[in-house]
């Protein structure tokens, strides 16, 4: 296999100040009288004469490189189709023709339509981040989710912490608050340890004034940094 550059130059037409004869085309063996000519394989060509031996495309228009093998002059697509090595898509395991455009991730090769997240089938756009995890392509969201579950599997919470959470007995409600009942009223003519007589006045033996209620003030609560 040989690759050669195709260059387009000006100089095919004779001018009044030039006595040089026109170049001869390597394809048709006729003089090149056009203004532009092509140079490839150390020879000169008409633009219409330098063509692919399979598809007849004009090589000067499809690129700047041609391929030669087995006495054939070929464009890149036909050379790869005839002599290139085929591969297999890492996602669908089907054959990828040698001339087809592909996507690569390290050593893996993919069809363009197969290059998507293998967890949620999200198709990647230009600039999207992707990860190759266990030989599978993952989008950023699915990759981070997999990391979270893997971390929980390898670093479970301590057993003592779980026991402490499950061994705290439930707090029993007072009897008078169960089933929505109100507390019983005090009997007439007396009190129930509330230091008040039936008339609503303090008892005569109570010489100590009631203390003022103390209000408890909590400080502001802040959300801690998650661990």
pTM for the model: 0.43
- 107 with 64, same domain? no
In a domain, residue 67? The reply is yes
Domain that holds residue 34: 2-12+22-82
51 shares a domain with 36? yes
- Do 48 and 74 lie in a common domain? yes
pLDDT, position 205: 52
- Percentages (nearest 5) of helix, strand, coil residues in the chain: 20, 20, 60
Which CATH number fits the domain that encloses residue 125? 2.10.110.10
Whole-number pLDDT of residue 195:
45
Residues 177/171, Cβ–Cβ less than 8 Å: no
Domain boundary residue, one of 43, 59, 82: 82
Work out how many domains the chain is built from and give that number.
Answer: 2
Look at residue 141 in the predicted model and tell me its pLDDT. 93
Specify if 39 maps to a domain: yes
Beta strands in the chain (DSSP E): 2-5, 7-10, 36-40, 43-45, 65-69, 72-74, 87-88, 95-96, 102-105, 108-111, 130-133, 136-139
Residue 195 lies in a domain: no
For 175, the 3-state DSSP assignment is helix
Same-domain status, 68 and 92? no
pLDDT for the residue 157: 63
Residue 202 maps to a domain: no
Distance separating the N- and C-terminal Cα atoms of the chain: 61
If asked whether residues 76 and 113 sit together in one domain, one would say no
In a shared domain, residues 77 and 91: no
Mean pLDDT, 10 residues at a time, over the chain (227 residues)?
64 51 91 90 91 92 85 88 84 88 88 93 88 91 89 71 57 58 55 46 48 40 39
Does the residue 131 lie in any domain? yes
Which token pair is 30?
Answer: 């006729």
Domain presence at residue 33: yes
Give me the pLDDT at residue 167, please. Answer: 56
* The residue to which tokens 């005569």 are assigned: 204
Q: At which of 57, 82, 107 does a domain end?
A: 82
The confidence score (pLDDT) of residue 161 equals: 57
pLDDT value of residue 184: 58
Q: Are residues 103 and 73 located together in one domain of the fold?
A: no
């Amino acid at each position: 296999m040989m690759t050669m550059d195709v260059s387009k130059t000006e100089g095919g037409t004779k001018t009044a100040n030039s006595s040089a004869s026109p170049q001869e085309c390597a394809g048709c063996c006729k003089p090149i009288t056009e203004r532009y000519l092509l140079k490839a394989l150390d020879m000169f060509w008409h633009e219409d004469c330098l063509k692919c031996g399979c598809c007849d495309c004009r090589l000067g228009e499809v690129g700047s490189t041609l391929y030669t093998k087995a006495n054939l002059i070929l464009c890149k697509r036909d050379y790869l189709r005839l002599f290139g090595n085929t591969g297999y898509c890492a996602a669908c395991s089907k054959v990828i023709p040698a001339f087809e455009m592909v996507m690569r991730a390290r050593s893996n090769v993919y069809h363009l339509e197969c290059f998507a997240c293998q967890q949620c089938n999200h198709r990647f756009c230009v600039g999207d981040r992707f990860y190759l995890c266990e030989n599978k392509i993952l989008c950023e969201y699915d990759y981070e989710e997999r990391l979270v579950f893997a971390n929980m599997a390898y670093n479970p919470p301590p057993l003592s912490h779980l026991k402490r959470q499950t061994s705290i007995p439930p707090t029993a409600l007072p009897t008078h608050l169960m089933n929505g009942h109100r507390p019983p009223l005090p009997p007439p003519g007396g009190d129930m340890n509330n230091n008040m007589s039936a008339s609503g006045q303090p008892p005569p033996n109570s010489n100590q004034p009631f203390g003022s209620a103390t209000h408890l003030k909590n400080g502001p609560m802040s959300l801690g940094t998650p661990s």
